[in-house]
Amino acid sequence: MPPLMATEFLCRVADVLSDYLGGLNEDLIKDNFVIVYELLDEMIDNGFPLTTEPNILREMIAPPNIVSKVLSVVTGSSSNVSDTLPGATASLVPWRTTDTKYASNEIYVDLVEEMDATINRDGVLVKCEINGEVQVNSHITGLPDLTLSFSNPSILDDVRFHPCVRYRPWESHQFLSFVPPDGQFKLMSYRVRKLKNTPIYVKPQLTSDGGTCRLSVLVGIRNDPGKTIDSVTVQFQLPSCILSADLTSNYGIVNILSDKTCSWSIGRIPKDKAPSLSGTLVLETGLERLHVFPTFQVGFRIMGVALSGLQIDKLDLRTVPYRFYKGFRALTRAGEFEVRS
C-alpha cells in the first residue's frame, strides 16, 4: 500500500469524528461508541477506504443528538444507520449529494492561515512559515463546476487537495477546477515558507543574581498588517527551580496556574502604549542564578488578512446558467510561535 495512505485515512477519520462529535477525546468516543463503530464500518471496507466524505456519511448515519439518545433508550434500538443508500455512492462524484436544491445559491471561500515562527534568544527570526487552508462552504443547486484562481499561486508549497479537485488544470495552469461537495469542506491546504517578518514582537529579558531573577517582557506591533491584531496571549512555563513568582502587567491579565504555567492575556494591543509584564522570581535555596530559561508561546489572531500574501483572483461557475453569490474572507492566527529567552 502507499505509505501515506494509512496516515491520510487516520487524519480523515479524526476529521469526521470531530465533525460528528464536536471534538475528539476519550470521553466523547466512550459516550458515542455505537456511532463511532458505525462510522468506521462505512469508512473502511475489508481494509480499503470506502466512504470518507462527511456530508455523504451524514445521509447514511445520523449525527448524535438528544432526541436520538432518548429514542434509543425507549425503543432499545441503538442503530443510527439509514435504511436507504445515498444516491451519491453510485455516481461519478461520490462526494456530492444528488438533487440538491436551494432557493438562493451561494458559496463562501475562507483563507485560514497559521503562522509558525521561532525567534532565538538574540531576537533573530530563525524560522517563519505559514500553514494554510482554503475552506469552502457551498450551497449551490444541481451539479456546479467551479474554477478558483489565485493572483500569486507560485508562492505555494506542499499543496494538498480534496478529492474533488482535478489535478491536471493545477499542474498545467495553476488554477483549481472542481465540483464541490455540498456544505462545508476543506478544498486544499498549503505551506508558504521563508517569510521575513512577523506581525508582533515579544522581547523577554531575564537577569538573575543572589537567588532572585528579574523578568520583563515587552509586546508590540512590528509590522502593521492593516487590520486589528487581537486575542494576543503570551504563555510560558516557569522552571522547576522557581519557588514563587510575583508578576504584574501594565495591560491585560496575568495568571499563574498550579503547574507553574504563566498565562498573560493581552487581547488587543493598544496604540498609545506597549504592553509589558515584569516581576520577580524566587529561586530554590542554594541557587544563585537561573540556568534553565523559559520559552514563550505567543498567540494572536488577525481577521481580514492572509499574512502569506496569497490572494484569490476570481471564482467562476461553469455549466450552470443561474447567478450565485460568492464571498471571500481571510484569517491569520498564531500556530507554533515560539520566542526563546
Quick: pLDDT tens for 28-47. Answer: 999 888 889 999 998 998 88
- Please name the amino acid found at residue 149: S
Query: Does residue 101 form part of some domain?
Result: no
CA distance 333 to 306: 9
Residue of 338, 335, 337 whose CA lies nearest to 132:
335
| Per-residue model confidence (pLDDT) at position 57 | 85
Show the cell assigned to 173. 495552469
Query: Does residue 165 form part of some domain?
Result: yes
| Per-residue model confidence (pLDDT) at position 84 | 62
In angstroms, the Cα distances linking 257 to 36, 244, 267 are 35, 12, 19
CA distance 61 to 78: 12
| N-term to C-term CA, the chain | 45
CA distance 37 to 119: 44
In angstroms, the Cα distances linking 205 to 34, 232, 341 are 53, 19, 7
99 band by pLDDT with thresholds 50, 70 and 90:
confident
CA distance 282 to 243: 6
Show the cell assigned to 170. 493545477
Query: Does residue 281 form part of some domain?
Result: yes
Residues 204 and 299 reside in one and the same domain: yes
Residue of 248, 335, 341 whose CA lies nearest to 298:
335
Query: Does residue 163 form part of some domain?
Result: yes
Residues 215 and 248 reside in one and the same domain: yes
Between 3-21 and 33-43, two packed helices, what is the crossing angle to 10 degrees? 140
Over residues 228-260, the pLDDT tens digits come to: 999 999 999 988 888 888 999 999 999 988 888
Q: 129 with 193: CB under 8 angstroms?
A: yes
Segments forming the whole domain that contains residue 136: 106-195+307-340
Query: Does residue 100 form part of some domain?
Result: no
Residues 187 and 56 reside in one and the same domain: no
Query: Does residue 40 form part of some domain?
Result: yes
Over residues 108-158, the pLDDT tens digits come to: 999 999 999 999 988 899 999 999 999 999 998 888 889 999 999 999 999
Alpha helices in 44-112 (DSSP H): 54-60, 66-75
Show the cell assigned to 230. 487581537
| Per-residue model confidence (pLDDT) at position 90 | 54
Query: Does residue 116 form part of some domain?
Result: yes
Output 203 or 54, whichever has higher pLDDT: 203
Output 208 or 177, whichever has higher pLDDT: 177
- Residue 320 pLDDT greater than 70, yes or no: no
- Bridge partners of 178, per DSSP, are 146, 165
Show the cell assigned to 73. 433508550
Residue of 72, 9, 312, 335 whose CA lies nearest to 175:
312
174 band by pLDDT with thresholds 50, 70 and 90:
very high
CATH number, position 128: 2.60.40.1170
| Per-residue model confidence (pLDDT) at position 190 | 94
Residue of 160, 117, 109 whose CA lies nearest to 308:
117
Q: What is the DSSP letter of 307?
A: T
Output 184 or 332, whichever has higher pLDDT: 332
| Per-residue model confidence (pLDDT) at position 73 | 53
Question: At a CB cut-off of 8 Å and minimum separation 6, what does 58 contact?
Answer: none
User: How many percent of the chain have pLDDT more than 70?
Assistant: 91
Last residue of a domain, one of 56, 90, 124: 90
**Mean pLDDT for all residues in the chain:** 87
Query: Does residue 96 form part of some domain?
Result: no
Residues 177 and 226 reside in one and the same domain: no
Domain count, the chain: 3
